[in-house]
Amino acid sequence: MKSRSVRRTAERPREVTPPERRRWLPRFPVLAALVVGLVVGAALVSLLATESPDDGPAESGLVDNTPGEDSAEAGFVRDMMVHHAQAVQMADIVRDKTESQEIRTLAAGIALGQQAEIGQMRGWLQAWDLPPSGTEPAMSWMGHPRDGRMPGMAGPEEIDDLRNASPKEADVLFLRLMILHHEAAVPMAQAVLERTNRKEVEQLATAVAASQQAEVYQMQELLQRRGVPVEEDPTTPDEGSHGEGHGG
């Protein structure tokens, strides 16, 4: 029986992506997009299921309480979507830069959680037949209109500093910026709780206040473990100031 000779060809070695980066980079944007899409759909289905077309105002004797253009609910949703979007941006930057597994896990949780809430709020606006942005300045629904950035939001120079920082410097800067960011979002959530009777808005606002306050405590602890003092935002939504966020 004749033996067959096998000719081996030299193969070029494949480049191997380090495990940490392979774990996050290819899949995270896709996962975030899927989460947002699913949440938007779920929000629409939930609202349509709770608002039966057979029980209109004329038949039930009740006034339609669907939020309108100038409602507190619409203002809160629009402002919180903008606020959340910057938190996701900062979390994405530090997640790809940090060498700390704690920071990477925290940033991934913030990004995914707030992307999901953005999708939920976007779905509400669609169900309420409202555009994603309004004509009034931010925070007008709270009685504190802002022409510039909302409290707690980082300025363009701070975002650039985060992008250009070394991994360890980025960890500290991210924690400081995100603490201020979260602390400013909590009063916004509390304000809409005083102004709405919509169950879905109450549930989200309650969740935002609780989760972001818990993350503030976690981030303060991470700073303290690094020997870094915790800074406080000099402006809050309750002051009614027309400043532009916080300084660098």
Q: Tell me if 3 is assigned to some domain.
A: no
| Residue 230: predicted pLDDT | 77
| Residue 223: predicted pLDDT | 96
Whole-prediction pTM: 0.72
Q: Tell me if 240 is assigned to some domain.
A: no
What CATH number does the domain containing 93 carry? 1.20.1260.10
Q: Tell me if 242 is assigned to some domain.
A: no
| Residue 65: predicted pLDDT | 84
Q: Tell me if 6 is assigned to some domain.
A: no
| Residue 122: predicted pLDDT | 97
> Exposed e or buried b for every residue in 5-42, given b needs 16+ CB within 10 A?
eeeeeeeeeeeeeeeeeeebeeebeeebeebbeebbee
Q: Tell me if 14 is assigned to some domain.
A: no
Q: How far is CA 177 from CA 61, 230, 247, in A?
A: 49, 10, 10
| Residue 229: predicted pLDDT | 84
Secondary structure of 162-191 in the HEC alphabet?
Answer: HHHCCHHHHHHHHHHHHHHHHHHHHHHHHH
Residues in Cβ contact with 74 at an 8 Å cutoff, skipping those fewer than 6 apart = 67, 68, 125, 128, 130, 134, 141
Domain range for 87 is 28-44+67-131+154-229
| Residue 88: predicted pLDDT | 98
Q: Which residue has the higher pLDDT, 127 or 241?
A: 127
Residues in Cβ contact with 25 at an 8 Å cutoff, skipping those fewer than 6 apart = 17, 96
Element (H, E) at 241: none
Q: Tell me if 34 is assigned to some domain.
A: yes
| Residue 246: predicted pLDDT | 60
Q: How far is CA 142 from CA 117, 123, 190, 238, 239, in A?
A: 20, 22, 10, 9, 11
| Residue 196: predicted pLDDT | 97
Q: Are 142 and 197 in contact (CB under 8 A)?
A: no
Lowest-confidence region among 105-109, 143-147, 167-171, 176-180: 143-147
Q: How many domains does the chain have?
A: 1
Q: Tell me if 9 is assigned to some domain.
A: no
**Residue 11 carries which DSSP code?**
-
Encode pLDDT of 133-166 as tens digits. Answer: 999 999 999 999 998 999 999 999 999 999 999 9
pLDDT-derived band at 202, boundaries 50, 70, 90: very high
| Residue 59: predicted pLDDT | 43
| Residue 234: predicted pLDDT | 40
To the nearest whole percent, how much of the chain has pLDDT over 90?
65
Indicate whether 180 pLDDT > 70. Answer: yes
Question: SS3 breakdown of the chain: % helix, strand, coil, rounded to 5?
Answer: 60, 0, 35
Q: Tell me if 164 is assigned to some domain.
A: yes
CA–CA separation, 171 and 167 (whole Å)? 6
Indicate whether 12 pLDDT > 80. Answer: no
Encode pLDDT of 26-74 as tens digits. Answer: 444 444 444 444 444 444 445 444 454 444 444 444 456 899 999 999 9
Q: Are 237 and 153 in contact (CB under 8 A)?
A: no
